[in-house]
A and B are shown apart, each in its own frame.
Chain A
Amino acid sequence: MSVSEFDPVLVRADWVPRLRLATRILRQLERRHVYLEGITSLPHSDLPVGNGLELERLSRAWMLVDNLLGVYAMVAYQLNARTDRIAISQRLREEAVPPSREFLERAWLWSSLPEALSSGAVRPLGVTPEEYLRRLQPLTDRTLERLTDRYTRQRRFHEQYAPFAMAHRHGRAAFHLRVEVTEGPPVHIKLRHDSEGITVLRRQRSERPVQVHTLLFDQEYQDDVAAVLHNTSADIRNYSRLLAALEAGMPDFLDAIERGATGTTRGRLPYILLAAPYTADEQPIANNFTEGE
C-alpha cells in the first residue's frame, strides 16, 4: 500500500478520533497515578485507624491496571471506547496470560510498522523495508518479551486483587473482619473484628458456597503493589510518549497522504523499544526509535 492509497477522509474520521481518545485516557491515568502517590503519602497520624489508606491505594492501583489493560484491548481490537465498553472488559478477561505476541504487537502498534515502511510513510534508512525489518527483529523480540512479562504481572495482579477492589468500588464495602472456621464436627464459623486485614464474602446465590477472601496488608502485599505500580506507571509513560509522537506527526502524515507524498516522518520513529542493552550493530537501529522505560 502506498501513501497515496491511505484515505484522508478515513484517517480524519477514524484514526484521529481514536488517537485523541487514547491520548486523553492516558492523560487521565497519569493523573490517577499522581493522585494515588499523593493520597498514600498523607500523614496517617490524622487517621484514627491504621489501614484505611492502604485500601484507597489498592483500589486505585487496581483501577489503574484495569484501565491500562482496557486501553490495550481498545487499541489492539480497535474497539469503540463508548459503545464497546463491555466488549473491552470481555476482551480483557478473555486475552490469554501470557498474552499472544500478536496481541501485544497490535496493542503497541508494532504491527503497523511493516505497512508504514513499505508505504513510505516512514523512511527505511537507506535499506529496503524487508532488510530493515530483518535487522530490527532481535530488538522487537526483546521488547515484546519485556512487554509480555509486564502484561502478565499486571493481569495476575488484576485477577488476584479483583474481589477487594470491586467490593471497594461498590459501596467501599470492605470489612475489617476475619472469618474463623473451626473444623468439626461440628464446624463453627464466626466473624471477628480485625484491623489488620479486610475480608470480602462472595455469595452469588443462596444455594451456592460462599467464597471468603481475606487480605492482609503484609510485606508481600506491599511488594505486589509496588511492583505493579512500577511497571504500570512506566507503561503509561511509554504509551503516552508513543501516542504523543503519533499525534504530533499526524498533521504531516495527513498532508503527505493528501499530496501523495512519501517520507513523512522526521526524526525518531514513535514506536517504543524496550530492548537495551544494544550491540554495536543494533545501536544505530535503536537510535531511530524511542527508548522506553
Chain B
Amino acid sequence: MTIQSVVIDVEHAGQLFDAPTFENVLLGSWEQVSLTTQFVTRDLLERIKRDEPEWRAYHSWELIAISLETVEMVGNVLLHHERGGGRALHEATNPELAELFERYERPLPPDAVQTFLRLPTPKDSLDTVVGACFRTALDSGARALNVLASHWRRFAEAVRWFRHFPAHLTLDDVDAIDPGPNASKDAIFQEIAAMDDLLDVAVVPDGQGFGYQAIREPDVQFAARMTYLAIEVVLTRGGNLFLNPESDVPAERYPKLYPFLVRRLSPENRSRLAAGGPYHLI
C-alpha cells in the first residue's frame, strides 16, 4: 500500500503535538530533505552555467522557486515558535506567511533571535571579546531572518505564478496583441529596457493592462544563497533543541553555530566564541 492514512482523534493528538520532542523529531527528519534541496540547487546552478537562454530562464525559475519553498520552512518554524507548538510545520497559509515575513523584515531584538535559535548565552559572556562576538552572532541571525523575509516577499508572487499556473505572454506576444500605444504596456517595456542582466520576462495579462514577472542573473545567485541560508537557520534551531551534555560528540553536547552566525567574525574570534560558549562550530 503506497499511502497509509490514519486519523488520530483529538484526545490522543496531544501525544504527538505536545510532546517535547515533537519539533525536534520533525526538524531532525527534515535534514534529509535539506540535503536533497542543496543537491538540486547545486545541480541547477551547474545547468544554468551551460544552458541556452531558454533553458537558463526555466532553470532559474526552478531555482528561485526552490529558494522560496525552503524559506517557507523558516516561516513554518517561526509560526510554530511564536504559537508555542501545536502545528505540523507544513500548514502555514500564504496570508499567514505574508503577515509573518512582513514583520520579520523589520529589525529584530537580539533576545528574540537568541530565543528562536535556542542559543544559550555564553558561559564567558563577561569576557569582553566573547560578549561582543555573541552580539555580532545574534545580529547576523537577525539579519538572516530579515533577508529571508525580504526574499520571500519579493518573489512570492512570481513563484506562485511559476508553480501554480505559469500562463504568460512574451514581449513579442504583447506587441502582436496590442500593437498600438498602451500605457500599461509602454511602462513595462520601459522598465524592462532599463534592466541589466535580464534572464526572463513573463508578461501576465491583468484586466485591460499587463503585469510582469522578471528575473535577473543576480537574482539566481542570491536565491541559491537564500536556500542555503534558510537551511542553516532551520538546522540551527532544530539542532539546538535537544543537547546531550553527557555526549562525547561536540555536535551533540554543545549548541551549534552555523556559518551564517559567525561569518562576520575573524577566525580567531570564532574560536574565542566557540570556546567561551562553549559552542560547536559547524
Residue B163 is within 8 A (CB to CB) of chain A in the complex: yes
B44 to chain A, nearest CB (A): 9
A53 to chain B, nearest CB (A): 6
19 further contact pairs, Cβ within 8 A, besides A190-B15, A216-B4: A16-B176, A20-B173, A53-B36, A81-B205, A166-B90, A171-B89, A171-B92, A172-B73, A175-B29, A175-B30, A191-B26, A202-B88, A207-B10, A210-B7, A210-B13, A212-B5, A214-B3, A216-B2, A224-B2
Contact A175 B26, CB 8 Å, known A20-B173, A31-B55, A53-B36: yes
- Which residues in A have their C-beta under 8 angstroms from that of B13? 203, 206, 209-210
Chain B interface SS verdict (over half): helix
Counting from the closest, the 10 A-B pairs by CB-CB distance are A52-B36, A173-B90, A81-B167, A171-B73, A201-B88, A167-B90, A171-B72, A28-B166, A221-B2, A25-B167
Interface centre among A42, A47, A173 (most CB of B within 10 A): A173
- Which residues in A have their C-beta under 8 angstroms from that of B163? 63, 169
- Which residues in A have their C-beta under 8 angstroms from that of B40? 39, 53, 56
- Which residues in A have their C-beta under 8 angstroms from that of B54? 31
Check if A171 sits within 8 Å of B90, measured CB to CB.
yes
Q: CA–CA, A56 to B37, complex, Å?
A: 9
A83's contact among B76, B166, B207, by CB below 8 Å, is which?
A: B207
Check if B167 sits within 8 Å of A49, measured CB to CB.
no
- Which residues in A have their C-beta under 8 angstroms from that of B69? 168-172
Check if B87 sits within 8 Å of A203, measured CB to CB.
yes
Residue B168 is within 8 A (CB to CB) of chain A in the complex: yes
- Which residues in B have their C-beta under 8 angstroms from that of A171? 69-70, 72-73, 75-76, 89-90, 92
Chain B interface residue count, Cβ-Cβ cutoff 8 angstroms:
66
- Which residues in A have their C-beta under 8 angstroms from that of B249? none
- Which residues in B have their C-beta under 8 angstroms from that of A25? 165-168
Check if A52 sits within 8 Å of B32, measured CB to CB.
yes
Q: CA–CA, A111 to B55, complex, Å?
A: 36
Residue A55 is within 8 A (CB to CB) of chain B in the complex: yes
Chain A contact-residue range equals: 35 or more
B220 to chain A, nearest CB (A): 15
Residue A248 is within 8 A (CB to CB) of chain B in the complex: no
Check if B25 sits within 8 Å of A191, measured CB to CB.
yes
Check if B211 sits within 8 Å of A82, measured CB to CB.
yes
- Which residues in B have their C-beta under 8 angstroms from that of A29? 166
Check if A160 sits within 8 Å of B3, measured CB to CB.
yes
Check if A204 sits within 8 Å of B91, measured CB to CB.
yes
- Which residues in A have their C-beta under 8 angstroms from that of B3? 160-161, 213-216
- Which residues in A have their C-beta under 8 angstroms from that of B66? 172
